[in-house]
Amino acid sequence: MRTVFSILQIIMLIVIAPLVSGLITKIKNNVRLRRGQSVFQPYYNLAKLFSKEEVISEHTSWIFSVTPYVVFASTVTALFLVPTFIAKNPQGCMGDLFLLVFILSLGRFFLALAGLDSGSAFGGMGSSREMFISSFAEPAAILVFFAVSLSAGSTNLGAVTTGGFRLSWLVAAVSLLLVVLAETSRIPVDNQETHLELTMVHEAMILEYSGRSLALIELASYVKQIVFFSLLGAIVWPCMAAASAGYAEIIAALAAYLLKIAGLVLVVALVEVSLAKMRLFRVVDFLYFSFVIALVAVIAAVFGV
Amino acid sequence: MLNLFNISISFLHDPLSLFFVFTILLISLPSVIYSLGYLKGEYSLKKRFYGLTLFTIFVISMCLVVTVDNALMFLICWELMSLVSYFLVIFDHENEKSIRAGTIYVVMMHIGTAFIAAAFLIMYKHAGSFDFAALKAACQSMPIATKNLLFVFFLLGFGTKAGIVPLHIWLPLAHPQAPSHISSLMSGVMIKTAIYGIIRFIIFVLGVSSLWWGNLVLILAAFSCLIGVIYALMEHDIKKLLAYHSVENIGIILLGVGACMVFLQCNLPYMAVFSLAAGLYHLINHAIFKSLLFLCAGSVYKVTGTRDMEKLGGLIKKMPWTAAAFLMGAMAISALPPLNGFVSEWLILQTFFLGMLKVSGGLKVFFALCAAALALTGGLAAACFVKAFGITFLAMPRSSKAKEAKEVVFSMKAGMVFLSALTLIFGLAAGVIFKVLAAIAQSIVAADAPAMNFSLNNFTLATVSDNPTYLSPLAVALVLVAVMAVTAILVFVVAGKARVKKYGTWDCGYYKLTGRNEYTSTAFSKPFRIAFSFFLRPYRKTEKIRESFYHVKAFKYETFTTPVFKKYIYAPILAITFGSARLMRRIQPGSIHLYIAYIFVTIVTLIIFMKIF
Q: Are B287 and B26 in contact (CB under 8 A)?
A: yes
Position A85 scores a pLDDT of 81
Tell me the β-bridge partners of B546: B552
At A36-45, the pLDDT tens digits run 899 999 999 9
Position B1 scores a pLDDT of 43
CB contacts < 8 A, A to B, total 269
At A134-183, the pLDDT tens digits run 999 999 999 999 998 887 788 887 777 666 678 888 999 999 999 999 99
Which residue in the set B506, B515, B518 is minimally distant from A208, CB to CB? B506
Nearest to B344 by CA among B270, B260, B430: B430
Does the pLDDT of residue A96 top 90, yes or no? no
Q: A51 to chain B: which residues are within 8 Å by CB?
A: 495
Which residue in the set B314, B336, B479 is minimally distant from A77, CB to CB? B479
Position A163 scores a pLDDT of 61
**CB contact, 8 Å: B288 with chain A?**
no
State how far the Cα of B301 lies from the Cα of B315, in Å rounded to an integer.
12
Q: Which of residues 304-333 of B touch A (CB under 8 A)?
A: 314, 316-317, 323, 327, 331
Position B452 scores a pLDDT of 81
Q: A149 to chain B: which residues are within 8 Å by CB?
A: 353
What lies within 8 Å, CB to CB, of B557 at 6+ separation is: B540, B541, B542, B543
Tell me the β-bridge partners of B244: none
Position B438 scores a pLDDT of 93
Does the pLDDT of residue B563 top 90, yes or no? no
**CB contact, 8 Å: A8 with chain B?**
no
Q: Are B539 and B526 in contact (CB under 8 A)?
A: no
User: Nearest C-alpha of chain A: how many angstroms from B484?
Assistant: 5
What lies within 8 Å, CB to CB, of A269 at 6+ separation is: A23, A24, A27, A28, A31
Position A199 scores a pLDDT of 82
Q: Cα dihedral sign for A88, A94, A99, A102? A: negative
Other Cβ atoms within 10 Å of B497 Cβ, number: 6
Position A174 scores a pLDDT of 95
At A46-86, the pLDDT tens digits run 999 999 999 999 999 999 999 999 999 999 999 988 888 87
Burial class (CB in 10 A: 0-12, 13-18, 19+), B568: exposed
State how far the Cα of B320 lies from the Cα of B300, in Å rounded to an integer.
12
Which of A48, A49, A135 would you mutate first to test chain B, the one with the most B CBs within 10 A? A135
What lies within 8 Å, CB to CB, of B506 at 6+ separation is: A57, A120, A122, A207, A208
At A248-268, the pLDDT tens digits run 888 888 899 999 999 999 999
DSSP codes joined into one string, B307-369:
-BGGG---HHHH-HHHHHHHHHHHHHHTT-TTSHHHHHHHHHHHHHHHHHHHS-THHHHHHHH
What lies within 8 Å, CB to CB, of B476 at 6+ separation is: A77, A94, A95, A99, A103, B337, B338
**CB contact, 8 Å: A6 with chain B?**
no
Nearest to B377 by CA among B536, B248, B550: B248
Which of A132, A149, A183, A223 would you mutate first to test chain B, the one with the most B CBs within 10 A? A132
Nearest to B499 by CA among A49, A109, A78: A49
State how far the Cα of B524 lies from the Cα of B236, in Å rounded to an integer.
10
Question: Which amino acid, A273?
Answer: V
State how far the Cα of B318 lies from the Cα of A241, in Å rounded to an integer.
55
Chain B residue with Cα closest to A116: B390
State how far the Cα of B539 lies from the Cα of B559, in Å rounded to an integer.
6
Question: Which of B180-184, B332-336, B458-462 shows the lowest per-residue confidence on average (mean pLDDT)?
Answer: B458-462
Q: Please give the order of strands across the beta sheet that includes B470-471.
A: B455-457, B460-462, B470-471
At B227-237, the pLDDT tens digits run 999 999 999 99
Does the pLDDT of residue B387 top 90, yes or no? yes
Question: Which amino acid, B392?
Answer: T
At B183-222, the pLDDT tens digits run 999 999 999 999 999 999 999 999 999 999 999 999 999 9
Mean pLDDT, range B291-305, rounded to an integer: 95
**CB contact, 8 Å: B448 with chain A?**
no
∠ CA B163-B200-B363, nearest 5°, is 70
Q: B356 to chain A: which residues are within 8 Å by CB?
A: 146, 150, 302
Which residue in the set A98, A108, A154 is minimally distant from B465, CB to CB? A154
Which of B470, B503, B530, B534 would you mutate first to test chain A, the one with the most A CBs within 10 A? B470
**CB contact, 8 Å: A121 with chain B?**
yes
Share of chain A above pLDDT 70, in %: 94
Question: Which of A10-19, A85-94, B462-471, B498-507 shows the lowest per-residue confidence on average (mean pLDDT)?
Answer: A85-94
User: Nearest C-alpha of chain A: how many angstroms from B469?
Assistant: 5
Q: Are B468 and B454 in contact (CB under 8 A)?
A: no
Question: Which amino acid, B358?
Answer: K
Is there a cis peptide before residue B166, judged by omega within 30 degrees of 0? yes
Tell me the β-bridge partners of A57: B503
Q: Are B326 and B296 in contact (CB under 8 A)?
A: yes
Burial class (CB in 10 A: 0-12, 13-18, 19+), B436: middle
Mean pLDDT, range A228-251, rounded to an integer: 81
| Inter-CA distances, B103 with B76, B433, B440, Å | 20, 39, 37
Q: Which of residues 323-382 of B touch A (CB under 8 A)?
A: 323, 327, 331, 334-337, 342, 345-346, 349-350, 353, 356-357, 364-365, 368-369, 371-376, 378-380, 382
User: Nearest C-alpha of chain A: how many angstroms from B323?
Assistant: 11
Position A1 scores a pLDDT of 65
State how far the Cα of B91 lies from the Cα of B98, in Å rounded to an integer.
8
Max alpha carbon distance in chain B (Å)?
A: 104
What lies within 8 Å, CB to CB, of A164 at 6+ separation is: A238
Position A251 scores a pLDDT of 87
Alpha helices (H) along A151-189: 158-162, 167-183
| Inter-CA distances, B453 with B134, B255, B456, B458, B461, Å | 31, 21, 8, 11, 9
- What are the φ and ψ backbone dihedral angles of B500, each rounded to 5 degrees? -120, 135
Which of B469, B497, B510 would you mutate first to test chain A, the one with the most A CBs within 10 A? B469
Other Cβ atoms within 10 Å of A299 Cβ, number: 17
Nearest to B346 by CA among B335, B356, B330: B335
B221 or A242, which is more confident?
A: B221
Tell me the β-bridge partners of B109: none
Element (H, E) at B55: helix B45-65
Nearest to B200 by CA among B65, B59, B10: B65
Residue A154 gets which letter from DSSP? S
> If pLDDT is split at 50, 70 and 90, which confidence band does B455 have?
confident
Q: A59 to chain B: which residues are within 8 Å by CB?
A: 314, 395-396, 504-505, 513
At B259-283, the pLDDT tens digits run 999 999 999 999 999 999 999 999 9
- What are the φ and ψ backbone dihedral angles of A38, each rounded to 5 degrees? -65, 155
State how far the Cα of B55 lies from the Cα of B43, in Å rounded to an integer.
15
> If pLDDT is split at 50, 70 and 90, which confidence band does B2 have?
very low
